[in-house]
Amino acid sequence: MTAQSPNDQTYVGVELCAGSARAALVSAGGEVVARRESAAPPEDPVVQVARLVAELRDASSAQVAAVGIGLPGLVSPATGRVIISSDLPSVMRGDLRAELAKATGLPVTLENDANAGAVGEYAAGAGRGSRDMFYVTIGSGIGGAIIIGGKLWRGASGFAGEFGHITIDPEGVVCVCGNVGCLETVASAPNIVRRTRERLMRDSTSSLSRLGLNKNFTAADIAHEARGGDDFAALMIERTGRYIGTAIATVVNLLNTERVVLGGGVMEAGQLILEPIIREAQRRSFQPNFESTQIVAATLGPDAVPIGAALLARDAT
Amino acid sequence: MTAQSPNDQTYVGVELCAGSARAALVSAGGEVVARRESAAPPEDPVVQVARLVAELRDASSAQVAAVGIGLPGLVSPATGRVIISSDLPSVMRGDLRAELAKATGLPVTLENDANAGAVGEYAAGAGRGSRDMFYVTIGSGIGGAIIIGGKLWRGASGFAGEFGHITIDPEGVVCVCGNVGCLETVASAPNIVRRTRERLMRDSTSSLSRLGLNKNFTAADIAHEARGGDDFAALMIERTGRYIGTAIATVVNLLNTERVVLGGGVMEAGQLILEPIIREAQRRSFQPNFESTQIVAATLGPDAVPIGAALLARDAT
């Protein structure tokens, strides 16, 4: 092995999800050199990460300096341990970081997936060139992260940016967090499906009804029908956008970051959801704040978390 | 005049309101040396500030180095001009800062009153010792300000911290800002009175009804009756606290500052309003974030804005 300058180093970033794990070999500048993916359950996350890292090392002659993991949970800044993960309970165990470091032989950084996604989009995606950014990810859950002056703003607990638990409807549905009417109770992918099912019980004019109430259709199916011209599906996506836009208005009013970047699976509905988000945010936010905030879709797609996790690993070493 | 070190300098801080102007001579360390007050309308704000500054100069042998003004409006960071002030239209004119500098012979700094109050409480009041703070002022309007790492966080427009325009009830009352269901539409002093009047039309068991529906009672009167044991008045204050607490939960979830400080006239209701604010904030916020955020009442009362404005003038010179 020849000596390499730090700029020749690469980093492995991994996104651990309930359904899969995605890994990327990332340059120090945030470019993806190679990708690997694997189905997750019921495999142990340590075994899974170790294999993905080994595969990526085999795929490139570049030296891997560290591994960063983005996961759907809260990582305690004090202990480095995962303290809450409702989506992926297998990562809530003793010292996961130490286990991963031992299994890969590399320094490992653990980070909340929304934080990692924010760092990825800020460095290499839709946040590029902005000073301050709010990042939102809308998928099976809803997360958020704040970047101020180029750095994650973590708040007093380390868990600032809890966008999904903003109250949208004070008299709404009970959330897993215990609150009532959180954004997540109406706008996450499973809750888009729930709302759609409830409406379909009363209204069967949609092409979705052809799918039948018992078929396990997804939020992506609803977006697909909406793009295909189904009015009812389009209404459900539009209404979801308005919920999200109400919460975005709060971010615009309070934080007024230069940019707001929206990512996650639900945003794959494209303009059908982005347009009502922006319209509702404009309606509900203070005009000078709205005019100084750019609200845009994320551009890295599934690369956001692996890239961000890799860059966080770079910064930690 | 003898030469003085910068620490011997004093600064005049002025709070301009629709109903009055309060001025204080403030040491470089944030201590009030002397106070003056005057009824405001219909006097010209330049004449008023010049006279208050002259009175405070006469009251002390200390040298005055600069004047800071806190006012209910938005001050453009780009031009230094007041661009919006629904409460005090007389300050929206040409170059107010230059007029005031000419009239007082001193450097003048203009600042939004919530920002000035935040700086006051952070330096010399309930924010002391915290690293990061969110400040809320609830009076005839509702304002907010963010201090991160010891400095005002102004956002991209300069107007971050617009706490009063957080949507609390998406189907609620139209706000002056054009949005529907802003916190200000239910929790500002005039809106507490409005809600109370509306309820009194339907319920006359309160001691407030003795005041008669046509009497111009104030939010302070309602708080007074609540303290005196009137159940209905207490209910109105409690409900107001719950509205504010819902918005505070959003601050706790998103920003998770180490401290949240609540000031302004409405907070003079004391524990009767602080207790439901904290209870609702706890109910609606993410637990680790709530546990790491102290929610406390402001301690400087009417000195907050003059002290903060004076310290902002100090930092600008």
For A139-178, write each residue's pLDDT tens digit.
Answer: 999 999 999 999 999 999 999 999 999 999 888 999 988 8
Alpha-carbon gap, residue B104 to B110, rounded angstroms: 14
Residue B41 confidence (pLDDT) above 50: yes
Give all strands of the β-sheet with A108-112 in edge-to-edge order: A32-39, A20-27, A10-16, A64-71, A108-112
Mean pLDDT of A64-84: 92
Domain A6-119+303-316 classification at class level: alpha beta
Q: What is the pLDDT, as a whole number, of residue A316?
A: 94
Alpha-carbon gap, residue A109 to A82, rounded angstroms: 12
pLDDT single digits (tens) B44-53: 899 999 999 9
Asked if residues B232 and B246 have their Cβ atoms less than 8 Å apart, the reply is no
Fold of A129-299: Nucleotidyltransferase; domain 5 (3.30.420)
Higher-scoring residue by pLDDT: A203, A262: A262
Asked if residues A263 and A15 have their Cβ atoms less than 8 Å apart, the reply is no
At what angle are helices A219-227 and A271-284 packed, to 10 degrees?
100
Q: What is the pLDDT, as a whole number, of residue B1?
A: 41
Q: What is the pLDDT, as a whole number, of residue A43?
A: 75
pLDDT single digits (tens) A208-221: 766 665 578 899 99
Domain B6-119+303-316 and domain B128-298, same fold? Reply is: yes
At what angle are helices B231-254 and B219-227 packed, to 10 degrees?
110
Share of chain B above pLDDT 70, in %: 95
Check B162 against A286: CB less than 8 A apart: yes
Q: Which residues from chain A sit within 8 angstroms of residue B74, using beta carbons?
A: 288
Quote the pTM value. 0.93
Asked if residues B177 and B165 have their Cβ atoms less than 8 Å apart, the reply is yes
Helix, strand, or coil here: A216? Answer: coil
- Please give the helix or strand (H or E) that residue A186 lies within, else none: helix A184-187
Q: What is the pLDDT, as a whole number, of residue A80?
A: 87
Residue B28 confidence (pLDDT) above 50: yes
Residue B280 confidence (pLDDT) above 60: yes
Check B292 against A168: CB less than 8 A apart: no
Q: What is the pLDDT, as a whole number, of residue A3?
A: 46
pLDDT single digits (tens) A221-242: 999 999 999 999 999 999 999 9
Q: How confident is the model at residue A31 (pLDDT cuts 50, 70, 90)?
A: very high
Q: What is the mean pLDDT of chain B?
A: 91
Cβ-based neighbour number of residue A156 at 10 Å: 21
Q: B86 at the A interface (CB within 8 A)?
A: no
Q: A85 at the B interface (CB within 8 A)?
A: no
At what angle are helices B219-227 and B271-284 packed, to 10 degrees?
100
Higher-scoring residue by pLDDT: B38, A104: A104
Between 3.40.190.10, 3.40.50.2000, 3.40.640.10, 3.30.420.40, what CATH number should domain B128-298 receive? Answer: 3.30.420.40
Q: What is the pLDDT, as a whole number, of residue A213?
A: 53
CA nearest A273: which of A237, A306, A236?
A237
What is the separation of C-alpha A148 from the centre of its chain, rounded to a whole number of angstroms? 18
Q: What is the pLDDT, as a whole number, of residue A260?
A: 98
Q: A223 at the B interface (CB within 8 A)?
A: no
Q: Which residues from chain B sit within 8 angstroms of residue A74, using beta carbons?
A: 288
Q: How confident is the model at residue A261 (pLDDT cuts 50, 70, 90)?
A: very high
Q: Could you state, in order of their start, the residue ranges of all structural domains in chain B?
A: 6-119+303-316, 128-298
Q: Which residues from chain B sit within 8 angstroms of residue A159, using beta carbons?
A: 256, 286, 288-289
Q: B286 at the A interface (CB within 8 A)?
A: yes
Task: Locate all alpha helices (DSSP H) within A30-131, ordered by sequence.
Answer: 45-59, 96-104, 113-124
Q: What is the pLDDT, as a whole number, of residue B61?
A: 86
Q: A289 at the B interface (CB within 8 A)?
A: yes
Q: What is the pLDDT, as a whole number, of residue B14?
A: 97
Asked if residues B6 and B60 have their Cβ atoms less than 8 Å apart, the reply is no
Alpha-carbon gap, residue B109 to A94, rounded angstroms: 54
Q: A253 at the B interface (CB within 8 A)?
A: yes
Worst-scoring range by mean pLDDT, A59-73, B24-38, B193-207, B235-249? B193-207
Q: How confident is the model at residue A4 (pLDDT cuts 50, 70, 90)?
A: very low
Q: What is the pLDDT, as a whole number, of residue A1?
A: 41
